[in-house]
Amino acid sequence: MMNNGEVYPNAPLALVAAEIRYTPVTERSLGMPVQKLIRDQLGDDWVIRNDTTQTFQAGVGPDGPQASMTHETFARITSRQRTKVVTVRPDSLTIEVTDYKHFADFRSLLEQASAATEQVLHPDGIVRAGLRYIDEVTVPASPPDWSRWLIDSLFPPSSETLVPSQWTGTVQYNVDVDQLLVFRYGPSPGPVVSPSGHLRRLRTPEGPVFMLDFDSSWQPSDIPEFNAESIVAAADRLRSPLRGLFDSLIKPDLLEIFRQEPNK
């Protein structure tokens, strides 16, 4: 999400994820020996864990944006720090990170994992690719007056007697014929990405947050060949509109918060 080249020390990113869906391979081909082959190509800093998984889905509850979880047990390839996870399934490859610093690093991991999946599983083709950035904005005010920090279009109508306390908005942008960007936003009384899931969060905000959830996807009309080069090229296209939209949402006071060194 970098158009201007600036890296924010105190960026509000909670989760960055990529999902590549492909034509299914057989369940048998995903046994432990195969998982180890993929793990070995990622390097020494990775281990295989059998977890009861919690898959994040953005949802709306009575208190605003909330996380809904589905549970399932299967193998994950996890960095020893538990801040990166690669999950290979019969029809999908997923990369999730909570220690995102630069797109170049994330792109390199996606390329590595895609190349390993290509070499070991040989999927026939790509069905869909997605890239997701979830921000949890926090500010030094309680309760926060979000209108000081974010642009007016993120707020619902109000009156002297009716002041909204919780809301969620969803916008879909048709970026290209086969590329969409879905943007979800709204305040929440606490984090929307679980701090107790399979990924370890380096910092978890306390108190209210404002969720900015960017979900960029490519669903080709044909079925392109599955290869790492095509996948990272798709990731580049999916990322392209995100930073410009993000930058357009924040006011100067919030930008100064992002430029501060984070509290440890």
Please give the model's pTM, rounded to 2 decimal places. Answer: 0.88
Model confidence pLDDT, tens digit, residues 120-177: 999 999 999 999 999 999 999 888 999 999 999 999 988 888 888 889 999 999 999 9
> CA-CA distance, 221 to 92, in Å (whole number)?
18
Model confidence pLDDT, tens digit, residues 76-125: 999 999 999 999 999 999 999 999 999 999 999 999 999 999 999 999 99
The full set of domain ranges for the chain reads 13-258
In this structure, what token pair is assigned to residue 204?
Answer: 């978890």
Q: Are residues 77 and 205 in contact, defined by beta-carbon separation less than 8 angstroms?
A: no
Residue tagged 């600036």 (tokens): 6
In this structure, what token pair is assigned to residue 97?
Answer: 């990170």
